């Protein structure tokens, strides 16, 4: 009994726990964004605080790595990735601040669909008929959530979908850059570049926060950094296909936080559309894992 109790957790279990930490911290960050938006703070000021905190926490790694962490053989590709990521996160902050948390979170899951689409178009990856069908079904789910028949122009919804597309582009670009760049280099570049890009926008819309609001900004920044770190650590700990599905825990947490803090109630079509999108992306994830397993070389005898 004692030996069993002291047995280390499996990689998948550690990954699941890290992903749960990530989901909770992402939800805390989203709540802070909405609370600050209700107080009329700009998204650029929030983004600046979020990424500046990342730079501060990454400072030891920058010092240890020296100029080597900044080395890039493809500066234009790195610049496109950083600019796309900065705009994507800024649009996501705007959406979370101006629409129900669960609705914004549901639409943000379209990122997984855009990743498959962009991998086909930009990287030339082969996508079979089953995954193409799941991709189409997923985008139908997005349309269900948007309810285009009502003909209502929803700027926050457009912002979160554009953010999902840009974040998918950064995922595909990182996949390409990771061939000749270290992970820490990519993370440092993203945080440093976004801080620099957000600074002038934050300066133009700057409002000196009160003591309570400064606490919200601090909580936003710290929870954002922990969420991203836990997410990366979780994916590295276990099977990617399992842990990618754990990311969907964010939706019920966002719905619960929206209900408790902001008295938001999910409508029927958002629930249906989110279920379609999540179902299709889970199918794509499982199909990808199955294909990769078939491609893997047999274990040595």
Convert the pLDDT of each residue in 2-51 to its tens digit: 444 555 777 778 888 888 998 999 999 999 999 999 999 999 999 999 99
Convert the pLDDT of each residue in 118-175 to its tens digit: 877 777 777 677 777 877 888 888 888 877 655 455 889 899 999 999 988 988 888 7
Of residues 230 and 241, more confidently modeled: 230
Of residues 113 and 301, more confidently modeled: 113
Rounded mean pLDDT, 239-256: 78
C-alpha 134/C-alpha 276 separation (Å) is 10
pLDDT band at 261 (very low <50, low <70, confident <90, very high): very high
User: Would you say the C-alpha torsion 235, 94, 85, 283 has a positive or negative sign?
Assistant: positive
- Residue of 170, 184, 200 lying closest to 47 (CA atoms): 200
pTM of the model: 0.83
C-alpha 53/C-alpha 300 separation (Å) is 46
**Residue 232 exposure: Cα atoms within 13 Å on the Cβ side:** 10
CA 97 and chain centroid, separation: 16
Classify residue 271 as exposed, middle or buried by CB count within 10 Å of its CB (0-12, 13-18, 19+).
middle
Instruction: Provide the pLDDT for residue 294.
Output: 60
Rounded mean pLDDT, 89-107: 92
- Which tokens hold the place of 197? 């890009």
Place of tokens 């994916």: 235
Classify residue 115 as exposed, middle or buried by CB count within 10 Å of its CB (0-12, 13-18, 19+).
buried
Do 217 and 36 form a contact (C-beta atoms < 8 A)? Answer: yes
* In the chain, domain spans: 12-293
- Write the DSSP assignment of 9-60 as a string of letters: PPHHHHHHHHHHHHHHHHHHHHHHHHHHHHTT--HHHHHHHHHHHHHHHHHH
Convert the pLDDT of each residue in 53-83 to its tens digit: 889 988 888 888 888 888 888 889 899 989 9
- Which tokens hold the place of 57? 């926490």
């Amino acid at each position: 009994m004692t030996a069993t109790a002291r047995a280390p957790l499996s990689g998948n279990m550690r990954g699941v726990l890290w992903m749960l930490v990530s989901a909770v911290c992402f939800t805390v960050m989203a709540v802070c964004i909405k609370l600050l938006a209700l107080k009329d703070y700009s998204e650029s000021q929030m983004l600046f605080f979020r990424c500046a905190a990342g730079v501060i926490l990454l400072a030891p790694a920058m010092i240890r790595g020296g100029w080597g962490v900044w080395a890039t053989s493809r500066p234009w590709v790195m610049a496109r990735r950083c600019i796309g990521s900065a705009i994507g996160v800024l649009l996501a902050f705007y959406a979370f601040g101006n629409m129900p948390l669960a609705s914004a979170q549901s639409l943000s899951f379209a990122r997984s669909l855009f990743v498959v689409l962009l991998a086909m178009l930009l990287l030339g990856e082969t996508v079979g008929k089953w995954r193409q069908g799941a991709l189409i079904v997923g985008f139908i789910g997005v349309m269900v959530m948007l309810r285009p028949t009502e003909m209502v122009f929803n700027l926050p919804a457009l912002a979160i979908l554009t953010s999902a597309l840009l974040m998918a582009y950064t995922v595909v670009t990182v996949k390409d850059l990771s061939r000749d760049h270290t992970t820490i280099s990519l993370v440092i570049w993203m945080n440093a570049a976004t801080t620099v890009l957000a600074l002038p926008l934050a300066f133009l819309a700057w409002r000196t926060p009160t003591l309570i609001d400064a606490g919200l900004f601090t909580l936003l920044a710290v929870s954002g950094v922990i969420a991203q770190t836990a997410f990366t650590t979780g994916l590295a700990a276990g099977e990617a296909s399992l842990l990618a599905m754990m990311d969907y825990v964010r939706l019920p947490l966002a719905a619960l936080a929206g209900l408790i803090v902001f008295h938001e109630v999910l409508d029927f079509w958002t629930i249906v559309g989110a279920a379609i999108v999540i179902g299709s992306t889970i199918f794509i994830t499982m199909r990808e894992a199955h294909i990769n397993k078939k491609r893997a070389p047999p274990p040595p005898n």
